A and B are shown apart, each in its own frame.
Chain A
């Protein structure tokens, strides 16, 4: 369960976001802005800062975020592993094709919430978080603070920054560990490549 929640948040971070209102630039507009591109491709750097380790765990790879399909997360260094998130859940590529990750899977609610985030669904996020949006459409910061106690035991806060697309996501855990995701050189496209199509379909 904890894992699933964590997963949801991490995932949500990559994504377009939403909700509460500021004067000039509000959540509705942010949702709108993030939902616009059909496909975003780019590279990511993930830094896992663990108190127990002197150096962060750094990994790199490529991502493809498709508004109507989901997310491909292709980890390339230090190890190779492909992940896929769609509304049917999270899958991991194996020699024999995509395989649902974990034997229990998440509840649909968690996938849904996550994909609602992808699609810029304000309401879904507001149910579990306090949302605070600062800045303008080309330089904004959204802070998510969990409402539920169970969530508070896992995250203290999530900070998301971006301009046209999401660029930086930071997750803070109560014990002091944190995870930073940087989405770099994002490029907008209006369709998936045949290979990506295939990855989403099978």
Chain B
């Protein structure tokens, strides 16, 4: 039975029909976007601004990242050596049989003849700098040392037979060849690493795909877990490390957290709605949340091609704000009796529109930072909120027409709360309270550390980190994110540059600040150096009396000299192509389009990146690439930028709010969220927390939400107590979706959750000041009915 007034209040029927059509279109778009599987990515790099400007820098970055994303290192240890070998062999077989790996290596396939050949043909290029200098400076000493090595019972003969290497150049080369890390081949060819009296068998595997492939990390993790179980059952020990395992951990963690936090917040929200409104119908209020998530994802995929897991996690909660829209008008049912959804919507619509606009302005400001992570979250949120708003206004009132009888007790609590507040204000006036608040902030804010670290973006995995660290200690392979990019006109100049850098790095190694490094100049001598060596060879022949005394045929010595002198100069690429060049191959970036060449110097076990500063001074064409530092710097810049953008957005919001409230009212409404943000920043300081980029984003989000609360408290549709209750409800549901993120094991996400939780608390507490009449006990207004 509807009265004529009801008819007049009713909104046009066309609205829900149009909305349904739009929703169908959205579902269709999403289905089409997901046609080839989920367009979801977990690649952290895609969230970061591409800091590497040039093609060469990108190639270098790719070279350095590849082993991190593909390599898996396993160490097996058992008190009984035969068992260790058997276990390692079984694991190797399992890994190989899985088909996931391009290579699984447990022993050196000693292709001794290929190594022998390279030593023979390229010994002048392979000979290390010190030996080259020694040969030229003192041929007699060089021959004398050769003799000593021939007699030394503990130094067996080299790979190249003595009759082809009387002068011992190949022998010296083989001896001085840098051996990166502690991993050595045992007598049976098995790769071993010895550390603190323990012997570990090393298995090194490389996957076909990389850590960002969707399923690969979890598959590899499973294989490793099986292997671990197998080894531990046999009372041995297994250590594993690799980017893949971290990726798997992150994926699993994100999935578990998203479903735990998601279902927790959903269930709690539903329970709350049921408790307050006492009809299952009210559960329809979550519909806008679903529509919001759908529109957010669709907008992101349409704009960016795909959506990142982190965006999905943060964004999904962000849309949790969208439940505020229906709550704000549903809360009017406490005083608006009999319940009329259309009337409630008409009454609250201006406030809701203002709330939506201020929110969207706030989010879109974020989209202009150069950080893809922030742009994605901003686009997701803006689109999501708009979708949710549309659903809440265009569909929900038609679905929620039945009488609504909310639980009356909460309204009484809200009234009591307001009375308490008035009593407090009666004793201590607002300016005094503000003074205390300012003091709190003045001492809290300076305690906040504004550090950012890429590691905060990755969920903590202490077990994996501990293993990686132990493997680093045992194997001596401690890859470092910092490296040097060296550019030169020719390969010779490149080698010379790298050598100059190497001598500076040697000092750092000697001082213990660096465990080691790999440079192309370690494996190949420049052509000029090879020619100098050839010129010095006749002196070696002149000094060869001790060899002749052994009975060596002089003709043989002359023949060897002639061979060495007529040997073609070995180019860097030829040296790298040989079996001995393998560890150095990734360092060579080759010739560029302009004919110049480029190569890398990689570092191992860097204690403090400060050790590298100033090392390139005076060396042309060498640049230190320190991506983590670069990113952290970028984080800091982005924070400033985001804060600036937010201030501009605040200006826009102020202008917007001036329209309904006048500039005084607008300033009051804006002061609430800004003070709330300041208060939570100070609280972070008191709690000893830092403000990360994501934490800042949380604060910015809170200012947007805080504006909503201020607007609704100012509008006071249905009375102050009802508005306070509506604000409380909105704050609680928002906290359920964001505040719970504080539980996340990813520091960036948890920092975000904490910032939002604090901000919500302050926004709620400060919101009543948005209405001037609420600030003075004298101007108390009767409330209760609309």
Contact = CB atoms under 8 A, between A and B. Distances in A.
Contacts of A109: 186-187, 192, 194, 199
A150 to B, nearest CB: 4
A24 interface: no
Contact of A48 (B150, B184, B187): B150
B110 A83 contact: no
A5 B156 contact: yes
B538 interface: no
A197 interface: no
A30 interface: no
A108 B81 CA distance: 13
A5 to B, nearest CB: 5
B552 A53 contact: yes
A103 B176 contact: yes
Contacts of A51: 163
Interface string A82-119: 01010000100000000001111011111001000000
B528 interface: no
A125 to B, nearest CB: 11
Interface of A is mostly: mixed
Contacts of A179: 153
Given A3-B175, A148-B187, A150-B185, A127 B155 contact: no
B162 A107 contact: no
Given A8-B187, A53-B552, A101 B154 contact: yes
B186 A50 contact: no
A157 interface: no
B184 A107 contact: yes
Contacts of B156: 2-3, 5-7, 9-10, 154
A66 interface: no
A50 B162 contact: yes
Chain A, interface size: which category? Answer: 35 or more
A9 B194 CA distance: 20
A38 interface: no
Contact of B147 (A8, A11, A79, A113): A79
A59 B151 CA distance: 7
Contacts of B81: 127
Interface in B309-362: none
A198 interface: no
B510 interface: no
Interface string A62-89: 0000000000010100110101010000
A7 B157 CA distance: 10
Interface string B184-203: 11111100111001010000
Best-surrounded residue of A6, A108, A181 (most CB of chain B within 10 A): A108
Contacts, number: 122
B154 A81 contact: no
Chain B, interface size: which category? Answer: 35 or more
Interface in B127-149: 147-148
A78 B153 CA distance: 13
A153 B110 CA distance: 10
Contacts of B186: 107, 109-110
B154 A148 contact: no
B551 interface: yes
B464 interface: no
B187 A10 contact: no
A59 B176 CA distance: 25
B112 interface: yes
Given A127-B82, A128-B187, A153-B112, A10 B154 contact: yes
Interface string A42-61: 00001010111111010100
A83 B152 contact: yes
A195 interface: no
B159 interface: yes
Contacts of A127: 81-82
Given A54-B551, A151-B187, A151-B188, A104 B154 contact: no
B189 A53 contact: no
A149 interface: yes
A107 B148 contact: no
A177 B162 CA distance: 10
B550 interface: yes
Contacts of A108: 194, 197, 199
A150 B188 contact: yes
A85 B155 CA distance: 12
A42 to B, nearest CB: 15
B161 interface: yes
B158 interface: yes
Nearest to A114: B154
Given A8-B187, A150-B185, A57 B151 contact: yes
Interface string B538-567: 000000000000111000100000000000
Task: Report, nearest first, the 8 A-B pairs whose CB atoms are least far apart.
Answer: A6-B156, A52-B163, A108-B194, A148-B188, A150-B189, A107-B184, A7-B154, A104-B179
30 contacts: A1-B108, A4-B184, A5-B156, A5-B187, A6-B156, A46-B151, A48-B150, A52-B161, A52-B552, A53-B552, A55-B550, A57-B550, A73-B154, A79-B147, A79-B148, A81-B151, A85-B154, A101-B155, A102-B155, A107-B184, A107-B193, A108-B194, A109-B192, A113-B187, A128-B187, A148-B187, A150-B110, A150-B185, A150-B187, A153-B110
Interface of B: 81-82, 108, 110, 112, 147-148, 150-159, 161-163, 174-176, 179, 184-189, 192-194, 197, 199, 550-552, 556
